[in-house]
Amino acid sequence: MTPPEASLDTRGNAPSAVLSCPPVTVLRQRADFLRAARALRRGTDGMLVQARNRDDGDPTIRVGYTCSKKIGNAVARNRAKRRLRAVVAEALLPGAKPGWDYVLVGRPGVTINRDFAALKGDLTYALRKIHAST
């Protein structure tokens, strides 16, 4: 089965919304997490957001997730990271800038139990404050 073709506008171009979104990848290397930890940070009720501008000319937005053992056992940590990934999927792109790394750190007791809409608001607020200071 072949994938569906993207619809073209009246001038024969692909939709601009698809082309204007920078790609989002996941941070995997420890060094990238450490670099983000030394850069800007904004704490909210549901999470801590660390961010840094890579200044490498690559428009990719990179996101990392971390939860310490203070969150709880492996099941609780994985649930907190799943919630953070879901928040990023819904609320990151409007406030994120191309070429930046973001690390979301879960908070004990709060990241798992906080209302999902409030978590999205926390991420939006943190991104707005981080980019207002740059």
In a domain, 4, yes or no: no
Please report whether residue 15 resides in a domain.
no
Task: Pull the structure tokens for residue 116.
Answer: 């999902």
Do the Cβ atoms of 61 and 26 come closer than 8 Å? Answer: no
Q: Is residue 64 part of a domain?
A: yes
Q: Is residue 79 part of a domain?
A: yes
Confidence of residue 43 (pLDDT cuts 50, 70, 90): very high
pLDDT at 23 over 80: yes
pLDDT at 67 > cutoff 80: yes
- The per-residue pLDDT for 103 is 97
Task: Give the chain's domain count.
Answer: 1
The CATH number for 105's domain is: 3.30.230.10
- Position 105 in a domain: yes
Which pLDDT score is estimated for 9? 54
In angstroms, the Cα distances linking 112 to 56, 92, 116 are 35, 19, 9
Tell me if 39 is assigned to some domain: yes
* Domain that residue 55 falls in: 22-132
CB 97 within 8 A of CB 21: no
Indicate if the pLDDT at residue 15 is higher than 80.
no
- Specify whether the CB–CB gap between 99 and 54 falls below 8 A: yes
Whether 2 is covered by a domain: the verdict is no
Q: Which residues pair with 43 in a beta bridge?
A: 48
Q: Does pLDDT of 16 surpass 60?
A: no
- CA distances to 100, 103, 123, 124 from 39, in Å: 11, 11, 17, 18
Q: Is residue 119 part of a domain?
A: yes
State the Cα–Cα distance between residues 107 and 25, nearest whole angstrom.
Answer: 23
Amino acid, single-letter form, for residue 62: R
Look at strands 61-66 and 100-106 and give their pairing: parallel
Count Cα neighbours of 120 within 13 Å in the Cβ-side half-sphere. Answer: 10
